[in-house]
Structure 1
Amino acid sequence: MQRIVVLGGGESGCGSAVLARVKGFDVFLSDRGSIAPKYRELLEKWDIPYEEGRHTAGKILSADKVVKSPGIPDKAPMVKAVRERGIPVISEIEFAGAYTSARTICITGSNGKTTTTTLTYEILRQAGVNVGLAGNIGESFALAVATGNYDWYVIELSSFQLDGCYDFRADIGVLMNITPDHLDRYDYELQNYVDSKFRILRNQRPEDRFIYCADDPLTLGNLPKHPLGMQTLPFSVKTCDGCAAMLADGVIRAEVAGKRVEIPVAELKIKGTHNTYNAMAASLAALSAGVGPDAICRTLRAFEGVEHRLEKCGEIDGVTYVNDSKATNVDSVWYALESMTRPVVWIAGGTDKGNDYARLYELAEAKVKTLVCMGVDNGKLLKAFDGRIGKIVDTHSLDEAMAAARRNAGTGDVVLLSPACASFDLFKNYEDRGRQFKEWVAAAQR
């Protein structure tokens, strides 16, 4: 019996372990940290042996194959030891893909992938397609394959998940954009990160489709390096000749194989240029999956967005509070600030990922009245915006940051949590950061 060892006891790892058990492998899971109670319960329900708080070399290095959770870097000592033994290391996506015949829509990119993934899933679901939502959002792809039976999966893929894919193939691959992100995981070399994103093209056939943003410089600059034998479907708000485009009268048009979606951008509930891109990509993906234009337009008109992405969560003393905790890189914040029409008290900071804040200078100078830095070490952020924003406040906890934001915001302003950084210095993850922000707002309203 082949032995599968799973490294990491979160959503991805535990889903992989369950799939390995369902497929009859000898499976063992190891996590160097602690495993959350809900995941321990899942492992025990499926009678999967595991350890936490350590990696026992003897139990791991006996594996025939290792499934590595995406949060574990390749330079981790145990991963290095596994590779030195010649044991294959793959991602959960690669592992799960081998055990389903369902078709896949796989969405990656630095910004917009969660909204586009959720929107695409909702279009297919509301059109009556037997579809699952998986990957870097919701439940893991592996757990969905182990416990479900879908005809289609809509999968959000991070660069970390793509790094461990070799034979996996997307029937419909979507690349939203590429901007500097996670450079700390890629030796601070942007090209390494770009190459990771382009793994979305891996193994695609002539009948498959690749949807990409024709307005994105890094995407366009790297396309010539890759064979494009599949069908390509570009989208653009700057030209009218893409498969999806913004027409002069403010109408989004998307067309695939003679089927056309046309909808005024004013009818979208999700606002801003970034959401126009998201709607275009989702429309092309849904058309490619065989969904009709009318069904696509119905969902586009009704979809209200995702949690932690420009999510309005309350008003206090005439000040609107917006939770954009998912904005963990500079370009995501750029889109958030670009969409603001009122004076902004901007809360930013956390664990820096090699950010270059210069892209934000013009928007910050024009729209931000106060910057509230929230993190253990705000030095880089303070230095970047010194002299560019009228007032900067240095805080080191959510309560400090929220109190400072409230003091500096007046009637008609927006308090925008849009951090540009990872959350791990003060919070468990960006979801925890966003939920604590919303809880503070809700408590202050009472």
Structure 2
Amino acid sequence: MELQLYKKEYIEERLKERFFAGHKKTKRIPKVLVFGLGRHGGGLGTLDFFVSLGWRVSILEQMPRVAFSDVIKKFRGKHIKWNFKTYGKRNLSGIDLVIKNPAVPLDHSIITLAKKAGIPVTNDADIMMTLIPKERIIGITGTKGKTTTAALTAHLLKSLYKTTFVGIPGIPFFHVLSEKKMPQWIVAEFSSFDLDLVTQSPGVALITSCFPDHLNRYRDFASYRKSKAHIFQFQDDSGVLFLPKGDRNNSFFTGKAPARVAYFDKGRFAHHKTTPWNIHPITFAGAFAIASYLRIPKRIYGKRLKSFHKPEGRMEVVMRKKGIVFINDTTATNPRAAVFSITTVYKERKKKKGDLIVIAGGEDKRFPASEVLRFADILRRHAKAVILLPGSFTKRLSPHLRNHKNITYASSMAKAVKETLRSAKQHDAVLLSPGAASFNLFTDEFERGRVFKHFVNQASIQRSDI
């Protein structure tokens, strides 16, 4: 990474002031522990940043060394210590600062030991907001809808302002520091894991939605929601928080908001003729609310929308074969997100007198029983056939589907896609919308989606309607 936005001396001064103020450690080159390189490149961006800064770097990664052979090769000759085993206190020897990857739980023993030893623990999101003026940052979070909303917001803003989009797989928060000039706006997507450790908030914040998720990582929904609140909780009175009108969490969020609160109404776009059927109305409402706030002329919305490309794996139309449409919604990693997708596709297919086949299931994240029951009910009512992938969530879901006349269990994605072809007829839709995590069969939900797309592309359907 070439640090072009600021001089190294300025960056180092800001970081030392933030994390080492009053410590003698500032007199030597600091040593940072990057805990977790991760699957999406976030840790790699962190590593690249600190190597470019000239700091001493130690890596702690719990995945096998062979998984990072390309990374090790790229940084050969640099002063990096690679550790692929957790040893406890030995991993923290001489460490001045710990950078936690979002995939690492807050209660991990290494994090606990670091805090007890007085070693600061932070993450790349918090460091970005230490270095970049917060009034230039637009932060977007939500249980679902955050990525597409953030992407559309950035796309709209680019029509008038120099804008950078960060915080998604492949574009780490540190990417903004490689810019030659300061962008007028930085649109940043924040997950709850990104927000866990931040003690700063972007000047403009938006929450798309908030409902139970990641309860395998959080004690309860209250803890999860508390983390989401960090996106606005540290604003000053010059900031603004956008919330979805009528959301049941609004009273909780407004009670913690130090800045002005504004609302956006997804109902305005629920049945709008110009909005694509496979994009959630909340995406338009949220993105247009920010664009309006920043005085983007409304006359250009339609034109920008036509050139907008949805992020991968979010109600993504893969292809149409023999009149059958195949849709990749792999990022529906919780039941409520899958319920929306299934309902949306079902309504769309009925207009064309077609039916719906759903590939669902996977690993549980301690979803509330009510969410599981709702998911099962929607599958019973809307899916002509359901193909279930293996996993702990599937074991919870399947007893509630016993009355469904067409349930199949598939041990792999290849078999799941093959099963869909037995049921699918012209005008039908095949939808991958798991409502669950993917880690028992895949490295993450994106690999799950790509494997689905691969087998769809390989499917032996003779006639294509494209």
TM-score relative to the length of structure 2: 0.83
What is the CA distance between 1:192 and its match in structure 2? 0.8
Counterpart residue number, 2:422: 407
| Residue 299, structure 1, aligned to residue 332, structure 2 | no
Could you tell me whether the CA contact under 8 Å between 2:45 and 2:172 is conserved in 1?
yes
User: Aligned pair in 2 of structure 1 residues 316, 420: CA closer, same or farther (>3 Å)?
Assistant: same
In structure 1, the partner of 2:10 is none
Q: 1:42 deviation in Å?
A: 4.7
Q: Please, which moves more after superposition, 6-15 or 433-442?
A: 6-15
Aligned AA for 1:403?
K
Partner residue of 1:28? 58
* Alignment partner, residue 31 of structure 2: 3
Instruction: Indicate the residue corresponding to 2:11 in structure 1.
Output: none
Listed as ranges, the matches of 1:114-193 within 5 Å are 114-125=147-158, 127-146=159-178, 149-151=181-183, 152-166=185-199, 168-187=200-219, 189-193=220-224
Aligned positions of 1:210-221 closer than 5 A: 210-217=241-248, 219-221=249-251
Structure 1 contact 137–156 (Cα < 8 Å) conserved: no
Residue from 222, 229, 235 that aligns with 1:204? 235
What letter corresponds to residue 201 of structure 1 in structure 2? F
What are the within-5 Å matches in structure 2 for residues 63-78 of structure 1? 63-78=95-110
Matched, 1:266 2:273: yes
Deviation at 1:52, TM superposition (A): 4.0
Q: Is the 8 A contact 1:70 1:160 kept in 2?
A: yes
Measured after TM superposition, the shift of residue 86 of structure 1 is: 2.0
Instruction: Return the offset for 1:58.
Output: 2.8
Tell me which protein shows more strand as a share of its residues.
1
Deviation at 1:20, TM superposition (A): 2.3
Q: Is the 8 A contact 2:376 2:397 kept in 1?
A: no
How far 1:202 sits from its partner (Å)? 2.4
Return 5+ residue gaps in structure 2 as ranges: 1-28, 350-354, 462-466
Change (3 A) 1:85 1:214: same
Q: Which amino acid aligns with 2:359?
A: I
Alignment-mate amino acid for residue 369 of structure 1: K
Q: CA deviation at 1:294?
A: 2.7
How is 1:38-117 mapped onto 2 (pairs within 5 angstroms)?
Answer: 38-44=70-76, 47-56=78-87, 57-101=89-133, 103-117=136-150
Could you list the runs of 5+ residues in structure 1 that have no partner in the other structure?
239-244, 251-264
Question: d(CA) in 2 for partners of 1:365 and 1:409?
Answer: 17
Report Cα offsets for 1:304-341 as digits up to 9, x if no partner.
Answer: 42211111112333321111011111121121012123
Distance 2:69 2:441 in 1: 21
Distance 1:85 1:44 in 2: 31
The 1:84/1:222 distance shift into structure 2, 3 A limit, reads same
Equivalent residue of 1:107, what SS?
Answer: strand
The structural deviation recorded for 1:158 is 0.5
> Aligned partners of 1:96 and 1:296: how far apart in 2?
30
Q: CA RMSD in A?
A: 2.2
Match of 2:15 in 1: none
Q: How many residues align?
A: 415
Query: Once the 2 structures are TM-superposed, how far is the Cα of residue 44 of structure 1 from its aligned partner?
Result: 3.8
Question: How high is the TM-score relative to the length of structure 1?
Answer: 0.87
Residues of 1 paired with 2:50 and 2:209: CA distance?
34
Map of 1:352 onto structure 2: 364
Relative to structure 1, is the Cα distance of residues 113 and 410 closer, same or farther in structure 2, using a 3 angstrom cutoff? same
CA distance in 1, matches of 2:76, 2:146: 33
- CA offset at residue 354 of structure 1? 1.5
Bigger Cα displacement from structure 2, 428-437 vs 23-32:
23-32
Match of 1:288 in 2: 293
The CA deviation at 1:233 is 1.6
Structural mapping, 1:264-413, within 5 Å: 265-268=272-275, 270-271=276-277, 275-340=280-345, 341=347, 342=349, 343-355=355-367, 356-377=371-392, 378-387=394-403, 389-413=404-428
Contact 2:356–2:382 under 8 Å retained in 1: yes
